[in-house]
Amino acid sequence: MVIRFGKRFWIITTSIIIVFTVFVVGRNLLHTVKIRHEIGQLEREKEHYEQRIEQDSLLLERLRYDDYLEEFARERYRMQRRGEQVYIIEEE
């Protein structure tokens, strides 16, 4: 008994293979686009945090000096010495 495959069988088989291939490639393409978008977002976050680290390092270095530490405490936390009156003028 010999099984013969007709033209219709090969057309259906080829169509199934093509549809499957397009599905897999399309899915991988969407996944690649999503990953690239996430990489770009993470790189922007990285730059932000590197700038933040640089600013905080500079602030930490400046806070080692007592003069700047006192100025920082007065401006940022509105601290004052005993018996001293401080007037706060906020600019608009």
Residues 22-52 have pLDDT tens digits of: 998 999 999 999 999 999 999 999 999 999 9
In the prediction, which pLDDT does 1 show? 66
- Model pTM score: 0.56
Predicted confidence band at 2 (pLDDT cuts at 50, 70, 90)? low
What mean pLDDT, rounded, does the chain reach? 88
In this predicted structure, what is the pLDDT of residue 14?
95
pLDDT at residue number 48: 97
Residue 63 CA to residue 71 CA, distance in Å, equals 10
Does the pLDDT at position 79 exceed 80?
A: no
**Structure-token pair, residue 45:** 């976050």
User: Comparing 18-22, 41-45, 72-76, which segment has the lowest mean pLDDT?
Assistant: 72-76
